[in-house]
Structure formats: structure tokens, C-alpha cells
Amino acid sequence: MRLTPGATLGVLGGGQLGRMLALAAFRLGLRVHVYAEDATEPALQVTARGTVAAFDDNDALDAFAAAVNVVTLEFENVPKATVERLARKVPVRPGAAVLAVTQDRLHEKRLALELGFETAPFVALEGGALPRELVPFPARLKLRRLGYDGKGQVRVADRAALEEAWRSLGGLPAILESEIAFRRELSVLVAGRPQGEVVCFPPAENHHVDGILSETRAPAAIAPETASRATAIAERLADALALEGLLAVELFEAEDGTLLINELAPRPHNSGHWTIEGCLPDQFEQTIRAVCDWPLGRPRAIARCRMVNLLGDAVLDTERWLREPGARLHLYGKEERRPGRKLGHATVVEPLA
Ligand code: ATP
Ligand code: MG
């Protein structure tokens, strides 16, 4: 089903990604209805239509489905039952099959290997007993489900530290993966339209501090050959998933140049914020085009950008960014300031030479 301007886009999740998605949707003449679990969430501040309810509130879900023409999500951990219930009444893009993979790190890694791509060496941990064969240490122990911004994972120096580390994560199903001495971290965003058209954004280079994205530089200053290998991986994943919407693919470029798939996110991504100023179309518009089944844009970088996340108290430093030549400040309207919480970002824009 293809949407016409004036239709209503439903967004599951009320965070900053939903807020920026809504702002892009308004520019394209859409109405937006946000479904969020908490009344203080940032996307609700910019939309006239909103539902505040739990993801398992069936009456609220049915009313939401009746009020919108298509549903997308800004948060991939929406329960499967929620998506399936909505999907009986309205298209949900990306759908349950994509979420089944991207909600579980083990499924993501298995898909990567099935397609002939590489990941860090890993083993799955499940059910109490440790497997005999582990992976080279140091390693990262990561819960299979529900991790973000470095939460739900711990660094493990050696085998002796593993049991305690796993206990600290509640002994839930996890994967243990070797730490990669990467040359750089890259991410590629890819959009897929219901009939199968697939288009990538130029890769971005990311710097994390304590497991949280700190800065993105884009387009990444990498050889064209590396960029085309990265985009080929993203396109193949989008095809394999029959992607309807946007997918972010996080990659490690190993010292020998191999690209390893780290993880996937089926939604706009923090490392794509640079596209708001630096690329036409931006990631939010492209998501909307994909889920409305409109022609996808052919992303073209129009500037070189440095995107800086404003985490916790860094958000108090607004003056610095307001004074910085060529910078644009984005604040998310979050009420509570906590260390490490994403409260805004600034993008410093330099026109392409
Ligand atoms: P986010 O939601 O912010 O993307 P996340 O909590 O889902 O993060 P990961 O992407 O798995 O977690 O890890 C966060 C960061 O930690 C990575 O971007 C990378 O900098 C570092 N990291 C994770 N796994 C490894 C690894 N195997 N080797 C080296 N560094 C790693
Ligand atoms: Mg990540």
C-alpha cells in the first residue's frame, strides 16, 4: 500500500529518533501519531496526536492501529506480540521478521555468517554451563537482547572472570565475542522499499567512549573501495531481510581491512544524524519515503560533518555550540539529565570543497 500526503504515520516509541522522524514527516505533509510508554517522552512534545500506553495495552493498540495508515518504529525492542497485533490491521514497516533478527544479537550474527560476511569470533552462552570452547580474550560478554549504549555488556579479561561477569548480567542468554583491535568503526544506513528497491547512505565513521557513541564524522574519510565493500554488505543485509524501512549496520574495520559486522538497528540511527545537515535526503526523510512506499532518495552528501553527542551535563554547554561557526544545535527536550543520557547533539558542517 502506498501512502498519500495527508495520511497518518504511526510511530512506535517516543524518543528523540521519533521526534526527528515526526519533524521530517510534517515537512512531507503527513500527520504523525506517536505511541509512547511515558508522557514525558520527547516525540510527544512535537506531535498533536499521541497515545501514552504500555506496549501490551491491547485497547490502546487497537485504537492506534485504527488511527494511522502505516506504522514504523524508532525503538527496535517493541514486543513481538505488539507488532503482530498491529500488523493484522495496518502495515508495520519494518515488520516482525526483521525485528525477530534485530532484537537478538545471536540472530544478527548468524545472519551475517550465513550471508558469507564476518563478525568478531563469538560463542553463545545459554543455560548455566559454559561451553568448553570459548573465544580469544579479552572479550565482550553481551546480553543477546535489550542492550543499548553499552548497557547489558561487560568486558571480560580472561576465562576466570567469565562466570562472575555472566552472573552480573543475570545469567541471561548472552554471547561472548572477542575484542577486536579495529582500525575504525563505520556505520552504513540502508533503506529498503516494499517492492525491493534498496539504497545506501555514504558510510560514517564513529567514535565511542565507554560504549556510547560520542562523535560521528561523515562521510567517512575511507578509500572508495572500503566504502563500496561496506555499502555492499548493507545492501545484501537489506535484501536478505526484505527490509521495509531503514536499517543501520555497524561495522568494525579490522587492522587488516576486513569489515566485521557488529550489530544492526532497524530504524534511524544516532550515527545518521549528520545527514540532517549533510545529506539529501536525510535519514529521517528516507525512512518516511521507505515506509510510505515513495521513491527513495539517492543520498548525496552535500557537506562534511562532525556530529557530537551531548550526553548528560554536556547539554548545559549550549553556548559553546551556539557560538561555534557552522554548527547546528539539536536539543531533544528531555526533562531528566543523567550521566550518559543522550540529551542533544551538535553538528558542525563544512561545505564539501
Ligand atoms: P549502541 O546501542 O550504542 O550501538 P550497544 O550497547 O548495542 O551499543 P555494541 O554496539 O555492541 O553495543 O557496543 C558498543 C561499542 O562498544 C561498540 O561500538 C564498540 O566501540 C565497542 N565494542 C563492542 N563490541 C566490541 C568488540 N567485540 N571489540 C571491540 N570493541 C567493541
Ligand atoms: Mg552498537
List pLDDT tens digits, range 158-188: 999 999 999 999 999 999 999 999 999 999 9
pLDDT digits 0-9 by tens, 254-268: 999 999 999 999 999
Q: Is 110 contained in some domain?
A: no
Per-residue pLDDT tens over the stretch 20-64: 999 999 999 999 999 999 999 999 999 999 999 999 999 999 999
**CA distances, 255 to each of 111, 112, 209, 252 (Å):** 23, 20, 20, 9
Work out the average pLDDT over 136-151: 90
Which pLDDT does position 130 carry in this prediction? 87
3-state secondary structure the chain: CCCCCCCEEEEECCCHHHHHHHHHHHHCCCEEEEEECCCCCHHHHHCCEEEECCCCCHHHHHHHHHHCCEEEECCCCCCHHHHHHHHCCCCECCCHHHHHHHCCHHHHHHHHHHCCCECCCEEEECCCCCCCCCCCCCEEEEECCCCCCCCCEEEECCHHHHHHHHHHCCCCCEEEEECCCEEEEEEEEEEECCCCCEEECCCEEEEEECCEEEEEEECCCCCHHHHHHHHHHHHHHHHHCCCCEEEEEEEEEECCCCEEEEEEECCCCHHHCCHHHHEECCHHHHHHHHHCCCCCCCCEECEEEEEEEEEHHHHHCHHHHHHCCCEEEEECCCCCCCCCCEEEEEEEEEECC
Residue 251 identity? L
At 257, which CATH number? 3.30.470.20
Locate the ligand 1 atom nearest the alpha carbon of residue 150 and give its number.
6
Provide the CATH number for the domain around residue 67: 3.40.50.20
For residue 71, being part of any structural domain is answered with yes
- pLDDT of residue 287 exceeding 80, the answer is yes
Using the mean position of ligand 1's atoms as its centre, give its distance from the Cα of residue 295 in Å: 33
Q: Which ligand is nearest to the CA of 135?
A: 1
Pocket perturbation via mutation, ligand 1, pick of 134, 153, 342 by most ligand atoms within 8 A of CB: 153
Q: How far is the CA of 171 from the centre of ligand 2 (A)?
A: 21
Q: Which residues contact 63 (CB under 8 A, 6 or more apart)?
A: 51
- Give the mean model confidence (pLDDT) for residues 234-262: 98
Q: Supply the pLDDT for residue 77.
A: 93
This prediction's pTM:
0.96
Residue 346, domain member (yes or no) = yes
Q: Is residue 101 part of a domain?
A: no
Q: Please indicate, yes or no, whether residues 148 and 14 belong to a single structural domain of this protein.
A: no
Per the structure, how many domains does the chain have?
Answer: 3
For ligand 1, atom 7: residue with the closest CA: 148
The residue nearest atom 26 of ligand 1, judged by CA position, is 179
Name the residue range of residue 16's domain: 8-92
Residue 266 lies in a domain: yes
Distance of alpha carbon 350 from alpha carbon 337, whole angstroms: 30
- Ligand 1 pocket test: which of 151, 262, 271 has the largest number of ligand atoms within 8 Å of its C-beta? 262
Residue 127 pLDDT: 83
pLDDT, one tens digit per residue, over 327-341 is: 999 999 999 999 999
The pLDDT of residue 269: 98
Q: Where are the beta strands (DSSP E) in 26-83?
A: 31-36, 49-52, 70-73
> Do residues 71 and 153 both lie within one domain?
no
| 154 and 198 belong to one structural domain | no
Same domain, 53 and 135: no
- Asked if 247 and 160 sit in the same domain, the reply is no
**252 grid coordinates:** 568494525
For the chain, give the mean pLDDT.
Answer: 96
**Ligand 1 contacts CB of residue 194 (under 6 A):** no
Q: From the CA of 288, how far away is ligand 1's center (Å)?
A: 27
**Please, which pLDDT band fits residue 1 given cuts at 50, 70 and 90?**
low
Q: Which atom of ligand 1 is nearest to the CA of 179?
A: 28
Instruction: For residue 135, give the CATH number of its domain.
Output: 3.30.1490.20
Say if residue 155 is in the same domain as residue 141: yes
Quick check: is 102 in a domain? no
Please indicate, yes or no, if residue 84 is contained in any of the structural domains.
Answer: yes
Output the CA 260–ligand 1 centroid distance in Å. Answer: 12
Give the ligand whose atoms come closest to the C-alpha of residue 155. 1
Cα-to-centroid distance, 29 and ligand 2 (Å): 33
| Least-confidence region, from 9-18, 54-63, 122-131, 330-339 | 122-131
304 — pLDDT class (breaks 50, 70, 90): very high
